[in-house]
Amino acid sequence: MRRFQQYLLRSWVVFFLIVIGIDLFAKSKDYSLSVDLFTFLLIAALSTIFVVDPVRRRHMSFTFHFGFVLFTFLTYGMLSAICVGQVTMLIYQLRTIHTPVGRRRMLHNYPFNVALELFLIVPAGLAYNLLGGTHGDAFQLTDNIIPLLAMVVILWIVLLLQYQLSRFLLGENIPSDVMFQLLRFEAVVITAELLYGIFSTLVVQGNGNSGLVMAAFALFIIKRSLGSSVQASDRIEHWEQIERLKEAAWKDGDAQFIIERYLRQLNQFVKPDIAWIKFDFEEGQQSVYYSLKDGRKLKADHVEGKVIEEIIEKEEVLLYGMQQEWDIRLYDCLPEEIQSVLFIQPEATETINCSLLLASEASGEFTKDFGYELYRALRVLSWAVERAHERERLLIDSRTDAMTKLPNYRALQEWGDRRIKQRDLYPFSALMIDLDHFKQINDTYGHEIGDVVLFEVAKLLMQATRITDLVARYGGEEFVILLPNTDLESARIVAERIRETLHANPIVVEGHTLEITASIGIDTLKELGDLASLIRNADRAMYVGAKFQGRDRVAAYHEWKEKVI
């Protein structure tokens, strides 16, 4: 049996035991429902107004409905208060039953909420009655100070124990610092509810049900004020975090640098136990997953919780505050200790889209509002990476020869100028390659076939060189190869290998077999020099030592130096 199923069974067993026990106790004490139907419906309607729009802190909802339970208890007695509380709890749970998450939440949380509601009112109410507390028209504040103080103490004890009850029935894990924050907020809420219960009881004595409505309006104002204060503080904190994220995305840099910087910034204020960000690029390209913790790429088949991409369907933000809310498919791909899950999937841009998974062992670690803020921040990241890719593409296009797909003259200069200044790359050699009789190919077969020849020759040159070398198209039928850490003899070996490769690979185009040869010039620098002179000397050696000597040969500049000056 899975963990969540064990907690489900435990919750409902406790629920039935409590309900049966209270029923037997009420019969033994001969308790009866003393409230009239109209008043009961009015109380139920007012409490419903409060529960449909709760104040949320993390994954917990504060409805302020317990004030109506206290009013009912002080006015009509224990059984009436229990009924009001249970009807309100049922309405609260039913408000989200139309969604799959809402149905799962009700199945697991309803018995817990019922148990907590009963633990709040029954012990406190019994203590109040045992100490001689009065109800209804006989209720006087000054005469019931001690019973009311006893109620307050017991309510506080139950509130302090509710997180242990939650851990026992639901398996919730709430960090201690967060628990203390929630308890402080609950102190304010329970104080407001207790004051409402006392105040409304006194007001109703002189004004009837209209007094109940007026008192409820005052409680509603308090509730809205507290809710607005909570939302404002959370919004300010989230806004500052999200703005830093957006700033990280829009700073200049290539796509990889933008992603790494964004992940570092996100990792400063989000501390999940499992977290990854996924990038979907243009159609046909493989998706890439990055770990949020260290920015490293993840293998797609090792990504935890990947199935959530199927669960989210058309939703933009999918949030689970507790394990009991999960889609059942998640239980097989996330560790049992995980509780909160937040998955964000913004709308795609034209060429790129990113999605984010955050999972934590703490219950209620993420909020819906924070999820939507992150949603907007992820869209900014998508646009920023798309812009960086476009900039990189334009940069590559400006440095790539369209015909051969080799680096062009501009790329040759930039690459060569950077490396020729590095002493550890010497000796430094260059080859100038000119295809023999290429004009005849264009004149005989046409320029289209000539273009194919250049493209095929470029592929052969790439195959004959190292990854550390640069093969570039110099112009026309001329190519330049730069060879770092290559002396003259090694450069000659490379040149001969290229010449033999061309001999061994005649190019077949549209039924024509074309034998291609090349004249190759070499120059080598043994100490720091300049790129222009190196290429110019290799070009001179190619013409004087190879072209003018019959073509299809290799010549070094130092051998023909005196003849080319």
For position 387, which CATH number holds?
A: 3.30.450.40
Q: How far is CA 59 from CA 55, 177, 340, 554, in A?
A: 10, 15, 9, 77
Same domain, 92 and 187: yes
Q: Is residue 402 part of a domain?
A: no
- For residue 283, the model assigns a pLDDT of 61
pLDDT over 70 at 536, yes or no: yes
- For residue 252, the model assigns a pLDDT of 67
Transcribe 482-506 into DSSP letters: EETT--HHHHHHHHHHHHHHHHH-P
Domain's final residue, options 240, 261, 280:
240
Measured torsion, CA atoms of residues 159, 163, 166, 167, in degrees rounded to the nearest 10? -160
Q: Is residue 114 part of a domain?
A: yes
Same domain, 387 and 445: no
Q: Is residue 202 part of a domain?
A: yes
- For residue 239, the model assigns a pLDDT of 67
Same domain, 232 and 264: no
pLDDT over 60 at 558, yes or no: yes
Domain's final residue, options 240, 266, 292:
240
- For residue 35, the model assigns a pLDDT of 78
Q: Is residue 403 part of a domain?
A: no
Same domain, 186 and 100: yes
- For residue 313, the model assigns a pLDDT of 74
- For residue 44, the model assigns a pLDDT of 86
Chain-centre distance for alpha carbon 404: 41
Name the most confidently modeled range: 201-205, 390-394, 456-460: 456-460
Taking only the tens place, the pLDDT of each residue in 24-75 is 877 787 777 777 888 888 888 888 888 888 888 777 888 888 999 999 999 9
* Residue 233 binned pLDDT confidence (cut-offs 50, 70, 90): low
Same domain, 261 and 229: no
For position 519, which CATH number holds?
A: 3.30.70.270
Q: Which residues of 325-334 are buried (b: 16+ CB within 10 A; e: fewer)?
A: bbbeebbeeb
Q: Is residue 400 part of a domain?
A: no
- Under a CB-based contact definition with an 8 Å cutoff, are residues 91 and 110 in contact? no
pLDDT over 60 at 112, yes or no: yes
Q: Which domain holds residue 57?
A: 1-240
| List of residues 6+ apart from 193 with CB closer than 8 A | 64, 66, 67, 70, 219
Tell me the C-alpha distance between 264 and 21, whole Å. Answer: 55
pLDDT over 90 at 525, yes or no: yes
- Tell me the percentage of the chain whose pLDDT exceeds 70: 95
Same domain, 471 and 432: yes
Same domain, 284 and 230: no
- For residue 349, the model assigns a pLDDT of 65
- pTM (predicted TM-score): 0.67
Name the most confidently modeled range: 100-109, 212-221, 303-312, 431-440: 431-440
Average pLDDT over residues 525-530: 92
Average pLDDT over residues 100-108: 86
User: Any bridge partners for residue 512, and if so which?
Assistant: 509
Same domain, 380 and 459: no
* Residue 476 binned pLDDT confidence (cut-offs 50, 70, 90): very high
- For residue 495, the model assigns a pLDDT of 97
Same domain, 233 and 314: no
Taking only the tens place, the pLDDT of each residue in 50-62 is 888 888 877 788 8
Q: In whole numbers, what is the pLDDT of the chain averaged over residues?
A: 87
Average pLDDT over residues 136-163: 90
Tokens for 141? 């504040």
Q: Is residue 373 part of a domain?
A: yes
- For residue 517, the model assigns a pLDDT of 96
In single-letter form, the type of residue at position 487 comes to D
Q: Which residues of 123-133 are buried (b: 16+ CB within 10 A; e: fewer)?
A: bbbbbbbeeeb
Same domain, 116 and 206: yes
Q: How far is CA 405 from CA 388, 413, 418, in A?
A: 21, 16, 21
Structural domain total, the chain:
3
**Nearest-10 crossing angle of helices 531-541, 557-564:** 80
Same domain, 543 and 416: yes
pLDDT over 70 at 396, yes or no: yes
- For residue 212, the model assigns a pLDDT of 84
Q: Is residue 443 part of a domain?
A: yes
Higher-scoring residue by pLDDT: 433, 322 = 433
Average pLDDT over residues 286-300: 82
Which helix (H) or strand (E) covers residue 345, if one does?
none
Same domain, 382 and 271: yes
User: Any bridge partners for residue 509, and if so which?
Assistant: 512
Domain's final residue, options 210, 240, 270:
240
Q: Is residue 220 part of a domain?
A: yes
* Cβ neighbour number for residue 137 with a 10 Å cutoff: 10
- Under a CB-based contact definition with an 8 Å cutoff, are residues 513 and 547 in contact? no
* Residue 533 binned pLDDT confidence (cut-offs 50, 70, 90): very high
Question: Where on the phi/psi map is residue 550: left (φ > 0), alpha (ψ -120 to 50), or beta?
Answer: left
- For residue 234, the model assigns a pLDDT of 64
